[in-house]
Structure 1
Amino acid sequence: MSYVEEHGEANLIGAGPAMLADVVAGRRFREIAEPTADGSWTIRDEVLFPAVSDCFPHRLLLANSDRMRTLSQPVPMPTWPDVHRLIVQLTTTGVDVDRSAGAVARLLAAMDREGLLEPVSDPAVDLDHADVTFLGHNTVVVRSATAAVIVDPWVRPACGHYPENYQPLQLRDLGRIDAVVLTHSHPDHFDTGTLLQLPCDTRIVVPKLERETFLSVRMYERLHELGFDDITELEWWDSVQVKDIEVTALPFHGEQPTDGSQLHPDIRNAGNTYFVRTPRCSAAFLADSGRDAGGDVRQVAARARRDLGSPDYLFVGYRGWLMYPVQLLTSSVGRYLPFVPQESWGVRQRLMTTADEAVDIAEIWKAPHLVPYADGGAPWYWQMGLGPRLDEAASENPAFDPFPERVIAAAATRTKTGYGVHRSTVNVLLMRPGDSIVSGGPQPRIERMQDFAWPYGEATAEVADAAYLG
């Protein structure tokens, strides 16, 4: 960061290959990698496969809604299930709990001392009639008449910095959740603070992973440590049934160290994308997927269309994450850098799907409705540096966090010829956190929660093109 502040990011990109060569030649890099005869390197096994026993949950961080008071409390390994059950009670019913158990008693006493035992509010609204509810970023709930499945749950606390009538939804607002579906282990998808608010017997579906690696947490093992006891590892193209909802795991390509070849290609950001079908509708969730040396999400869409049919609603990330390898150092995935071969140091990488590619995928899959997601979407995200700012002071970084309206614009302008501009047949649904899809009738209806309305105005494709994309 100091180099960027002194010379600018453009200079950082130009100087990137030489800077990375200096890093690789340094003593610190030799502590994690062995040089090879061809001038490359091999990352040491103890780095590729960290000892699970050396890394386990040992501390719980709690904060009140405005983060003016915090508590960091040690939790001995065997007591996590008890602490887990306590958190569920405190965040759902708020009833009195047994204060006699050792770890629970100490935690409650500390919370009481720091003023962190707050009353539980009533649910915001009844959402049982909705087919799909979007909470923001990657978090979506799919419902049938008898079940509810939540994808990548990550809820944020209320805060006085947000508009009074537009605060983050909480898990208790969603009613009963029958199963959780997790795409991959990055912290904005695998958020243990949110998961600990769900009962220990909640069913959780995770990607199949035989062994924890430097790039992927084995969520199956970590969830058991926290007290969950109904966890299913699902391989690509396999399915599970949650009452009358069918969940099928699809391949996760992209969001790897490069969009092409990489060192140690067997060490991946392991993940699943998903096709979720209910008796009322179907939806697919592609999260941060894109393309890499092993495959392309567009190929996944083509096969899924043949094997599973077209989803009614296709949720696609649209960030692109267009970056040169040296920029990884200032990102949330800096650990990717040792996997980038030297010949790629001066080559821009596309780690996720762009807005135009999101429309491509919907067309390949023949999905009638496309929902851009997986990039924030509300002040509780952009105030922590995630996603574009969408209020009256709207701002974006198009290469990393573009406006969701860019997907509307991409669908509206697919090609330009002498006969004019041609748009896609795909309908882009712009959903704000708290919005629900209610199916039925010729077109789905986007329903806004009463007293929880998007406070920042709306943008049609034309307004987006003029005001946002100008």
Structure 2
Amino acid sequence: MEQVISFTKGSQLQALTASEYFGYSIQPFIQDILNQFVECDNLKMSIIQAAKNHPQIAETFFDIDSNNVVESFSLKEPFLFPEQNPVLSLSFNNKRLSPFLSTHATQTIQNQLVLPEIHHLLYLCGQAKFNYEQICQQVSDEMVILLDKLLKSWIVREQPQPNKGVPLETPGVFRLQHAALLYRTKTTGILVDPQLHSNYGLTNLKQDITRAMLEGFVDAILISHSHYDHWNLPTLMLFAPEIPIIVPKVPRGSMTCEDMKARLEGLGFQKVIAVDWYAEPIAIGDMEIHVLPFYGEQPLVPEYNQPKHPDLRNWGNTYLLRTPYYSSWFLIDAGDDPMGSMRDVAEYVKQKFGGVDQVLSNFLSLSYNSIGTDLSGWGADILGNLLSNPQIFSVTNKKEGFHLATLGAKGIAEICAIVDAKVCLPYAHSWAELGQYTKSDEQLIEDAIAELAKVGCSTQVIPWKIGDGYIADSSPGLNNRILY
């Protein structure tokens, strides 16, 4: 059997941008403010004490007026809205191998112009079509050195060509890891928020969904928003430069949400599409893609809806896909915020389309209370939210009356009732082995069924596992397991 270069089981890829690195560097200061606030329930004193504990960070990066501490507190604007946000490095690791083996490799990026070359190398490796010599003939000498580094670290290997995981002519939607979905008709495939060979989630999966399994089945990619569990640059670099990628339109890049279109073009992608909400639909094969608002997961809360920096927003899209076989609206982590409500968007969908066949959503009830007091796993997006509006610390610490950042089971039931959804499918909760539920799936499904009953909605909740496909021409509720 022919040997080709492809990614090994357990290989993980991660990019580090300047804003992310900066977020990590100031995180101890923000964490200290929250720790202090939990103790004393006084935001002013918490900021003052944390500034004393971290004087260099506070003085260099923050505006703090001693006469008006809470109202003045903010990251200085050049750091909130950096003019440039270069990719600093790409790191590669394989945690399935022996801890005694050195499997970690880092490629420092000193010149952003090399990123399209790295993109081309990763794309060639991801296809699992070429052997070592064939790849070397298609890349520069510098990329051959990187390829050798990846081989030495067991990130890629020469191995038999893997089997594909999805029958080509299978109309339906397939649940990949976390927030990733693959929509198919008999001729067309749309990939959503892909996380392949990712460092996020479980680190020792026995089996996982690889880039090679999707080769030939993806005609376009949709990105919902720039949170790190939906926006993975190395994963995107595994796909062809000419593949269409639809991303949210970002009026002003920030540490919370970078300009995704500009970023992808800097990586060498040639067909990056960013359009306004409610724009004319985009046709990819026999799929019609409608770009709709993404409300929720924002720093704005009803009590404090006048932030210092309104542009510091988690810009995003939800998408409604219409195909000859089914229609599907996936909501990701959406909810409500002072800019708008997903229930109003649902009313638009009902009026415009008469309803939808499928609603897909994260079922978790996420609020700033639920993040707890440990910010270490939340990265720059949470820091940006907190920095946009320091009063949110008060909301974070409340035990009652907090504002949901996502729909939760109750909100999902209301959306399904409005759009007359035939089925509702949960996703975007976490990683799991192929053929298994994620950690919280079963309880969340029970909650959603209960809420649908309360509103008298006949929408059927479809339990499905990682790797399952909900097939358009199957009997209601039947999941054909395709990927394992």
Query: Same fold, TM exceeding 0.5?
Result: yes
C-alpha deviation, 1:46, in angstroms: 0.7
**Number of the residue aligned with 1:173:** 213
Spell out, residue by residue over 1:151-196, the C-alpha distance to the aligned partner (whole angstroms, 9 max, x if none). 1111236999434xxx111122123311000011111111112111
Task: Give the 3-state SS of the residue equivalent to 1:323 in structure 2.
Answer: coil
**Number of the residue aligned with 2:8:** none
Of 356, 370, 378, which residue of structure 1 is paired with 2:432? 378
Task: Give the 3-state SS of the residue equivalent to 2:87 in structure 1.
Answer: coil
**Number of the residue aligned with 1:109:** 148
Of 23, 40, 44, which residue of structure 1 is paired with 2:76? 44
> What TM-score comes out, normalization by structure 2 length?
0.78
Of 105, 122, 141, which residue of structure 1 is paired with 2:162? 122
**Number of the residue aligned with 2:172:** 131
C-alpha deviation, 1:140, in angstroms: 0.7
Spell out, residue by residue over 1:46-103, the C-alpha distance to the aligned partner (whole angstroms, 9 max, x if none). 1231121xx3124221223626511102343222222211111112113321257232
Query: What is the count of residue pairs matched by the alignment?
Result: 421
**Number of the residue aligned with 2:479:** 446
Give the distance between the partners of 1:438 and 1:415, measured in 2 at CA. Answer: 25
**Number of the residue aligned with 1:311:** 356
Q: Indicate how the Cα distance of structure 1 residues 79 and 338 shifts in structure 2: closer, same or farther if over 3 A, else same.
A: closer
Q: Give yes or no for contact 1:377–1:432 (8 Å, CA) kept in 2.
A: no
**Number of the residue aligned with 1:424:** 457
Task: Give the 3-state SS of the residue equivalent to 2:352 in structure 1.
Answer: helix
Task: Give the 3-state SS of the residue equivalent to 2:156 in structure 1.
Answer: coil
C-alpha deviation, 1:18, in angstroms: 6.2
C-alpha deviation, 1:214, in angstroms: 2.3
Q: Give yes or no for contact 1:23–1:29 (8 Å, CA) kept in 2.
A: no
Tell me, which stretches of 5 or more residues in structure 1 are unaligned?
A: 3-7, 383-387, 391-401, 417-421, 453-470
Give the distance between the partners of 1:16 and 1:429, measured in 2 at CA. Answer: 46
Task: Give the 3-state SS of the residue equivalent to 2:163 in structure 1.
Answer: coil
> Whose RCO is larger (CA < 8 A, sep 6+)?
2
**Number of the residue aligned with 1:466:** none
Task: Give the 3-state SS of the residue equivalent to 2:175 in structure 1.
Answer: strand
Q: Indicate how the Cα distance of structure 1 residues 327 and 160 shifts in structure 2: closer, same or farther if over 3 A, else same.
A: closer
**Number of the residue aligned with 1:215:** 256
Q: Which amino acid in 1 is paired with 2:62?
A: I
Q: Indicate how the Cα distance of structure 1 residues 326 and 47 shifts in structure 2: closer, same or farther if over 3 A, else same.
A: farther
**Number of the residue aligned with 2:384:** 335
Q: Give yes or no for contact 2:37–2:46 (8 Å, CA) kept in 1.
A: no
Give the distance between the partners of 2:272 and 2:429, measured in 1 at CA. Answer: 27
Matched, 1:288 2:333: yes
Spell out, residue by residue over 1:105-148, the C-alpha distance to the aligned partner (whole angstroms, 9 max, x if none). 22123234434431264124333214111103111111122211
**Number of the residue aligned with 1:393:** none
Give the distance between the partners of 2:42 and 2:223, measured in 1 at CA. Answer: 35
**Number of the residue aligned with 1:256:** 298
**Number of the residue aligned with 2:205:** 162
Q: Give yes or no for contact 1:79–1:103 (8 Å, CA) kept in 2.
A: no
Q: Indicate how the Cα distance of structure 1 residues 229 and 16 shifts in structure 2: closer, same or farther if over 3 A, else same.
A: farther
After superposition, the CA RMSD in angstroms is 3.4
**Number of the residue aligned with 1:22:** 48
Matched, 1:12 2:38: yes
> What TM-score comes out, normalization by structure 1 length?
0.80
Q: Indicate how the Cα distance of structure 1 residues 287 and 410 shifts in structure 2: closer, same or farther if over 3 A, else same.
A: closer
Tell me, which stretches of 5 or more residues in structure 2 are unaligned?
A: 1-26, 29-33
Give % identity: 23
Spell out, residue by residue over 1:363-413, the C-alpha distance to the aligned partner (whole angstroms, 9 max, x if none). 122111111111114159x9xxxxx963xxxxxxxxxxx444323333235
- Greater mean deviation of Cα atoms: 267-276 or 302-311: 302-311
Task: Give the 3-state SS of the residue equivalent to 1:232 in structure 2.
Answer: strand
Q: Which amino acid in 2 is paired with 1:251?
A: P
List aligned pairs for 1:392-407, cutoff 5 A.
402-407=440-445
Q: Which amino acid in 2 is paired with 1:217?
A: E
